[in-house]
Structure 1
Amino acid sequence: MMEEIQWSDEYGYVRDNKVYLRGFLGYPDRQIGEVKQSVEASVKYFRDRFETATQKVNELHELVNEAQNKGSYLMKLLHLRQYLIEFDGLGDYPALLDRLDKLEAELRTTIVHNRGRNLEIKRALLQEAEALADSTDWKETSEKFKELKAKWIKTGAVDKEHEEIESQFDAIVNGFFDRRKAYFEQKNEISRRRVSRYEDLVKQAMYLKDSTDLDVTASKFKRLQEQWKKVGKVPKAMAGTTWEDFKKANDVFFERYKKAKGQSGTYVKRVDPKKLAQEKLTKEAEELLQSSDITHASERAKQLLMEWKNVGVNPKFQDRQLSDRFRAACDKIFEMNYLMRVVKRKNFFFDKKPLVDQLQIKISVMSDLIRKDKMELDTYEGNVDGMNMLNKSQTMDKMVVSKLNVQKRKISVKELLLNQFKAELAAIKSR
């Protein structure tokens, strides 16, 4: 015989000292507890528990309203729904679940919109990655790929039907870094072979330095010096003391040679091969300034910069005049290349115009570029001054100083080119 119901309302009831939640939305009645002290106390306890569930739904609404990425709360909502269905409390669950249903519909609409926007952003990032895929500017491109990867992760998911874009992006990024790894492995192998060659030349020089057959040995040392120049650059960490040891062996022998021959000068004048390499690079850079194909000249100038860096002259012994000549030539090439890109984008038939018109266009565009660069420099310097006012004891960051100097150098180069165009125009008009 069924026990008499001790308490009942629309949400639950107590029977046989057991607390039951009435079924809802197709779920059956279920026991949620037992009467411990009294029916009234037990009913109050489970009603209070329902208020806790209500608060969780309220909190979720507040989080979604305040969030920028609202779609990220969908999984939290789904977990909360399951939590409510299994929760032990007395109250209006259908009302709470209805609130969650409406919020879920809003979130899914937002997700559809966001994923469409995410797809547009990721397609743009994919295009940037594709443009960088074949780059051999390992350092700069590595940083750009890291930035792209960070933006990609931050952007969020796309619809499943477009998920192949993820693998496409990963393939490009991984492909670049695989090529970079292979390049440096090959470069390290080349360096190891060069170090081995340098060490062999040092051994030969050390063997010859005490020779008494002076004339024959002097010729051999000269050949060793020529061979040394042709070996190629290696990282300082790998080179060790090979150059110092080689030079010392040369000096020991030729000091004896000079004394034996009664000479006050050096028998063989040794020219620093690194300086010779820099002179060659500088000459090529200055010749590129006369090139009719400024785009090709710009690409070659980038390669020359890398080659200059690879020569590895210690800054203490750098020929500053030579360095300035090289840098100035490269800067002019880059600025001319940028100028011509802007000019031809604004003037489709530039190449067909008379020389006077071409010079006037160059002068106009270059003047505008200088004006914009100076405005940018003034803004940046103002920001730096503001930072220094806030903390006068703090020294200016090296990167800030470097950026300012680069901007000033760009303006200086542009002004040199502008004056050159004006002089050419004046010369034509004076004929």
Structure 2
Amino acid sequence: MSSDPWGRVDETGTVYVRTADGEQVVGSWQAGSPEEALAYFERKYEGLVVEIGLLEKRVKTTDLSAKDAQAAIDHIREQVDAHHAVGDLDALRVRLDKLVELVEARREQRKAQRAKQSDEARKAKEELVAEAEQLAQSDQWRAAGERLRALVDTWKGLPRLDRKSDDELWHRFSHARSAFSKRRKQHFAQLDAQREEARKTKERLVAEAEALSNSTDWGATAARYRELMAEWKAAGRAQREHEDDLWNRFRGAQDVFFAARSSVFAERDAEQAENLKLKEELAEEAEKLLPITDLKAARAAFRNVNERWEAIGHVPRDARPKVEGRMHAVERAIQEAEEAEWRRTNPEARARAEGLTGQLQAAVDKLRGQIEQARAQGNNAKADKLQRELEGRQALLDQALKGLQEFGG
């Protein structure tokens, strides 16, 4: 018979291991000496020691799940409980019990960590929903729209909550975005409708102005033109691609009438010269509003100047384009400031700006060709008139190009 501190082999070849509960049969050995039998089962014990050591390391240093760790522990415990090894099996059981405690502690720690992450994700999503619902009432269409898109990206980067909570919060978030989109769509639809109504109104005013252009009923017709001008201003702005053309036709019809009236009332030249002086003073006053820093104040101040301007009356025909051009330049600057503010809120502005720029460039190129032709024919009066029109169109083109720069192109 052969033995060591943890096991022995009897004369029949039966191998025993000593445990706290007494000796347990390990197995039977007939293939060699008792020492070889003990050595064989001691090696099996060492294999269990190594296996437990590796599992301890995995539990402590990796993200092995509690479920997988417990399965591995149970597998080793089955081998220990089967008593097929010689060694301190009770010590192995103690190590396995401690490992179970560690796995449970890790399980609770991860559970707490998941709960914390879930609470943080819930708080973050509730904050996103609250901000989205606030933005849904905003009239800052461009800024609010960009911020809502950023909130969506932030939402996508957050962990999911339980299905019920996540669905409820997402429903509120999605509803806020939809409400904002609906309001923005209604706003621009209303704006487009207003501009279309203004275009129709101005078409009617242009038609009447052109019909009156050959009238010789000086007093009544001049009064009617003043009324038409008031109606024009009250109509608001039409679409950008129509506004300038309508204005040129409207103003051109008035020019025909007032030019004829001026030729008849030549005696008013002295009065018109005084009017010119007054209007030049008003033009200078208006020009002091540039550059525009406070749009609301500039608009009010210009309206005041313009009311006094309208009250003055006509100036000599040859001086009118220059002095009116000065006032129109200020008015255009105010309009462009308004357009810039409008464009920043209009997702369709870029396409319109590009279209207008192309139209204006074509008009400028055409006028330059007409000027060259008039000069070649010796018709300097026509060339000078076309040159003034070119200056106006060029100013509009410059403003349109400047507007495009706001879009980065």
TM-score bin (small chain): 0.3 to 0.5
Greater relative CO (CA pairs within 8 A, separation 6+): 2
Larger Rg: 2
What TM-score do the two structures reach when normalised by structure 1? Answer: 0.39
